[in-house]
Amino acid sequence: MEKILVTGATGQVGSELTIALRNNYGPENVFAADKRPALNELSPSGPFCLLDVRDASAINQVVDANNIDAIFHLAALLSAVAEQKPQQAWDVNMNGLLNVLETCRAHRCALFFPSSIAAFGPETPSMNTPQDTIQRPSTLYGITKVSGELLCDYYHHRFGVDARGLRYPGLISSKTLPGGGTTDYAVDIFYAALKSQHYDCFLRADTQLDMMYMPDAIDAAIHLMTADSKQLKHRNAFNVTAMSFTPQQLAAEIQKHIPEFTIAYIVDPLRQAIADSWPRHMNDSAAKAEWGWQAQFDLSAMVTDMLKKITLT
């Protein structure tokens, strides 16, 4: 990777991944793009352009003009928003990916595509979820993720596109707020704990979900994209995990730092149903065996670091 394009760069993942890539590959070599303007350090720290991934010729133009050889394609609508706007979610998540894959084919770019625990469904084993197992998601978002995994594999086998992907769990981060997912509670809770020492959680107390802290998620994406291609049997996409907890367990961990913190449960049926259909903890042995994946942050280390970082901002 020498010249990199990041789509959806102003989002929760992109705002941190772009900066990490700029630190590794040089600020001038990492082009950030999003359909909305950059409000944070993305624009001053390197090139930024407005780009809607539904516009195939605009993607081609950016890639052509800047000699891009790798695309981290993050632009998408997440699970809760996708249930509110299913047609738009299909358009952005599927047509956007198809446009990016076609550009990769034409310009011989490598591709990173983030899939999700959402690619699994209620019939999938929810504990120790295998790498290869039943994938019948019940959400529109999940359907676009399974289809995306298959489309990336197809472009690899049929056209030789070096497409690689991860099935991320819910991601927790301190820099940019999440963009409308089901696991967002695990970020919102920190801001509420620091501001008002109370949080009304939209999931049940015992809803166990797979989770990861953003530094591990960024490390996993870059690590996978620089791994030896010949070692990758499961290209699209690898299960990766770091921790697994319920809202009750996360609240208890926060109370170790803020004893007066309280939590109440005001369940949102839509997001609860989505969460109930997802894995509680994935098996990531294929990622460990094929490219040496290892998470650094567990629940306790993540909570300590989150509270420190948010307090400082």
CB of 216 to ligand NAD, least distance (A): 12
Told to judge if 141 belongs to the known catalytic residues of this protein, a careful annotator would answer yes
> Regarding beta strands 30-34 and 48-50, do their DSSP bridges make them parallel or antiparallel, or are they unpaired?
parallel
Which CA distances in Å does 147 have to 132, 210, 239? 15, 21, 16
Of the residues 141, 155, 168, 213, only one is catalytic, namely: 141
Alpha-carbon span 301 to 257, nearest angstrom = 12
Q: Is 11 in the site for ligand NAD (CB under 6 A)?
A: yes
- Segment lying near ligand AKB (by CB under 6 A), choices 26-34, 61-69, 179-187, 255-263: 179-187
Task: Select from ligand NAD, ligand AKB, none the partner in contact with residue 279, using the beta carbon and a kind-dependent cut-off of 5 to 8 Å.
Answer: none
Dihedral over alpha carbons 48, 87, 100, 21 (to 10 degrees)? 40
**DSSP-derived 3-state class of residue 4:** strand
| Closer Cβ to ligand AKB, 68 or 78, answer by number | 78
* Interface residue with ligand NAD, options 112, 120, 155, 168 (CB under 6 A): 168
Site string for ligand NAD, 115-144 (x = CB under 6 A): -x----------------------------
Q: Is 215 in the site for ligand NAD (CB under 6 A)?
A: no
Alpha-carbon span 99 to 75, nearest angstrom = 12
Q: Is 63 in the site for ligand AKB (CB under 6 A)?
A: no
Joined together, the tokens standing for residue 107 give: 């310009």
| Closer Cβ to ligand NAD, 47 or 258, answer by number | 47
Q: Is 42 in the site for ligand NAD (CB under 6 A)?
A: no
> Regarding beta strands 30-34 and 262-265, do their DSSP bridges make them parallel or antiparallel, or are they unpaired?
unpaired
Question: Which parts of 91-215 are beta strand (E)?
Answer: 110-116, 127-129, 163-168, 170-172, 198-201, 209-213
The continuous run of DSSP H or E covering 245 comes out as strand 243-245
Q: Which residues bind ligand AKB (CB under 6 A)?
A: 78-79, 116-118, 141, 170, 181-183
Q: Which residues bind ligand NAD (CB under 6 A)?
A: 7-8, 10-14, 34-36, 51-54, 74-76, 78, 92, 96, 114, 116, 168, 170-171, 178-179, 181, 183
Residues designated catalytic? 141
